[in-house]
Structure 1
Amino acid sequence: MKPEVLLIFLTRFPECTQMLAGITQYQRSQELWSVFLDDEARAERDPAWLRSRRWKGVISRHTTPVLAKTCATLDIPLVDLNDCPRFPGVPKIRPDNVTIGHLGAEHFLERGFTHFGFCGFSGQGWAEERRDGFLEALRLAGQDAAVLEVDYPGELTPAWDARQTARLVQWVQHLPKPAAVMACNDLRAIQLVRAAQTTGLLVPEEIAVLGANNGVARCELVYPPLSSVAANPFQSGLRAAEWLAQLMAGHPLARDDERIDPVGVVTRLSTDILAISDKHVAVALSFIREHACRGITVDEVVTHTFVSRSLLEMKFRRVLGRSPQAEIRRTQMAKIRQLLVETDLPLKQIAEVTGFEHTEYLSVVFKRFAGISPGEYRKRSRSGR
């Protein structure tokens, strides 16, 4: 009979489902356990619930003192995936938050920004580690950043969200532009995008915004879509399963506190730009990013920016090294790549939503940019995920 293992994960959180995918992969390769998923996290607060079955091991994303104490009393191996301070004697796996901050700073430095900010939560170790990593990487490059931190409320409400957006409005107005701001997580970054737009600032042309955790649904719901540093919850789940198997077999762990490296920055429109001080180019880029996929022309861009075509062409080549037409195509290609990788839409529908009248022409243009056909790009991208 397979040993019974308890998994405590609130599946409404995207990182939890990805951690479970890592555990699932380990399970499929080993076929070791009979697994029960506590997706209401009742075991974290109810010792009687935990005692109701003879668990041989527990992996928890929501570890509490009650859970840690009960597992210790019952001599049940527990692996903790919560990004919070350690419980004595409980092995912990968590993101490398300092490296997440480093990646955010490097992402902005590569784009030529010289004015930076960080928005976080005070008193939260994970957020402060991300802040420290961001500031450290900037200082190594001879730069610094404005920092705004607020208390984390524990329970997120619309009223709290509105107050934070209003507070960020005051803060972003005083940042020198163009500015590059990293937030401790995607929620905080979305508040920052709203605040910037409330003040009339262009995102990313005047303020580029980067989140962390890469909750895809959250990042895609905001406009412009939010760039984010992707942690690696899948690897965290896989590693936790490996550790629990060792503990259940009676083998000691080589170490009991491991940091998992992030995957990298997933670039979306909120940072997909170089630092640009030329107002005409910034306005033109904002217009292109918003409307390129409806098949706009350079003349429409010129009309929107209130300068002559020749002057706009000159400014684009000086600032970006490419023409407005090339930027329109580049924006369309980025959207096509995203749709090929993240959706199962047929090429005909992708052409319709990215401004191409004929799929044949889309294929020709895409192959010129990417070097391979759209179908081959989709196949290679998915085989590599």
Structure 2
Amino acid sequence: MKPHILLVFITRFEECQAMLKGIVHYERLHHPWTFFLDDEARAESDPTWLRSQKWHGAISRHTTASLVRTCAELKLPLVDLNDTAPFPGTPKIRPDNIAIGHLGAEHLLERGFRTLGFYGFANEGWARERREGFLEAVTLAGQSARLLEVEYPGDLTPAWEKEQISMLVAWLGQMPRPAAVMACNDMQALHVLTAAQNLGLHVPEELAVIGANNDLNRCDLSRPGLSSVAVNAFQSGYQAAECLDALMSKRKPESFDRRIDPLSVVMRQSTDILAINDKVVASALNFIREHACRGITVDQVLRQVFASRSVLEKKFRAHLGRSPQAEIRRVQVAKISQLLYETDFPLKKIAELTGFEHVEYLCVVFKRLTGEAPGAYRKRVQSAA
């Protein structure tokens, strides 16, 4: 008989969907299981519901003391994927939050920013760990950072969000510019972007912003697009299934608190810049990032910033090491790369969305700048996801 596995995941969360893919991938490579998806997380608070069926194992993203206690009474192996303090005796798999903070800080430092800040939750362990990783990386680089931490209420309301944005406006308003801020997650990073908009700041020219978790629904819907540290939720799910397999076979897990390394920084427009004090270059970069994928020319950029071609060329090469035309192409290719990774759009559609009249020319430009044809790039990055 196939083991009957309970999965406690609220599937409206993108991270949960990726974890489930990792679990299924492990199952297909190893032992056949049957699954029940508790996508209302009833098991976390209803012991009677949990006792109503015979289970051989459980994996939960929404683990509570009640769930742990009932599983222990039933002698039901349980693996916990919640990013909270571990329950004694229950194997936990969670992101390496210190590494997430490190990656965010390193990305901002690489962009040349020296005025740095971190915005997070003072009462959440995972957020404090991300803060510590951020501060450690900043300190190792010989820099310092400003902190703004608030209490997470557990229930988000419009009134609470309004209060946070007011606090952020006051905090950001005191920062020398250009500045860069990492938020503990993407939701908080969106608050930073809203506060920047209220202050009339250009993002990323005057304020760069990066979040964490790479929640596509938030990152791509924001304006500008939000850079974020991507967690490896797929690997978390895979290792949770591996751990549960060991428990059901009466083997002791290698670790009762595994930390999963983040994947990388997914750079979008909110940090797609080097820290530059030159207003002409900053204005030109802002215009290029907003309009490159509409097929703009350098002449259009010149009309926007009221500079001659020779002056703009000289300034771009001094600050960026490339020409305005090369910057336009770089922004277009970055968008092409994103669309190849995140969508199944045909190349004709991608060409329309990135300012290329002909697919053939898109392919030439993409291969010249990346070394790969678009099709080969898509196959490689999507197979690795």
Instruction: Sort the Cα spacing of 1:283 and 1:66 in 2 relative to 1 into closer, same or farther, 3 A.
Output: same
Alpha-carbon distance in structure 2 between the residues aligned to 1:382 and 1:15: 17
Per the alignment, residue 322 of structure 2 pairs with 322
Paired residue secondary structure (2:271) = coil
User: Which sections of structure 1, spanning at least 5 residues, go unmatched?
Assistant: none
Per the alignment, residue 24 of structure 1 pairs with 24
| 1:278-297 correspondence to structure 2 within 5 Å | 278-297=278-297
What TM-score, normalized to structure 2? 0.97
The structural deviation recorded for 1:312 is: 1.9
Letter matched to residue 377 of structure 1: Y
Per the alignment, residue 212 of structure 1 pairs with 212
The structural deviation recorded for 1:106 is: 1.0
Paired positions, count: 385
| More divergent stretch after superposition (333-342 vs 318-327) | 333-342
Per the alignment, residue 309 of structure 1 pairs with 309
The structural deviation recorded for 1:379 is: 2.9
Are 1:258 and 2:295 an aligned pair? no
Paired residue secondary structure (2:269) = coil
Letter matched to residue 174 of structure 1: Q
Per the alignment, residue 67 of structure 2 pairs with 67
The structural deviation recorded for 1:277 is: 1.2
Letter matched to residue 355 of structure 1: G
| More divergent stretch after superposition (157-166 vs 137-146) | 157-166
Alpha-carbon distance in structure 1 between the residues aligned to 2:208 and 2:330: 19
Per the alignment, residue 81 of structure 1 pairs with 81
Paired residue secondary structure (2:86) = coil
Instruction: Sort the Cα spacing of 1:237 and 1:302 in 2 relative to 1 into closer, same or farther, 3 A.
Output: same
User: Which sections of structure 2, spanning at least 5 residues, go unmatched?
Assistant: none
**1:132-182 deviation line (CA, Å, top 9, x unaligned):** 000011111111100001110211223322222222111111111111111
Per the alignment, residue 139 of structure 1 pairs with 139
The structural deviation recorded for 1:32 is: 3.5
Letter matched to residue 64 of structure 2: T
Instruction: Sort the Cα spacing of 1:347 and 1:129 in 2 relative to 1 into closer, same or farther, 3 A.
Output: same
Alpha-carbon distance in structure 1 between the residues aligned to 2:86 and 2:361: 57
The structural deviation recorded for 1:216 is: 1.3
The structural deviation recorded for 1:68 is: 1.0
Paired residue secondary structure (2:117) = strand
Alpha-carbon distance in structure 2 between the residues aligned to 1:384 and 1:253: 26
Alpha-carbon distance in structure 2 between the residues aligned to 1:363 and 1:95: 37
Alpha-carbon distance in structure 1 between the residues aligned to 2:86 and 2:216: 28
Letter matched to residue 45 of structure 1: S
Instruction: Sort the Cα spacing of 1:332 and 1:50 in 2 relative to 1 into closer, same or farther, 3 A.
Output: same
Per the alignment, residue 299 of structure 1 pairs with 299
Alpha-carbon distance in structure 2 between the residues aligned to 1:50 and 1:88: 20
Are 1:225 and 2:225 an aligned pair? yes
The share of aligned pairs that are identical, in percent, is 65
The structural deviation recorded for 1:303 is: 1.9
The structural deviation recorded for 1:246 is: 1.0
Are 1:272 and 2:297 an aligned pair? no
Instruction: Please give the root-mean-square deviation of Cα atoms over the aligned residues, in Å.
Output: 1.3
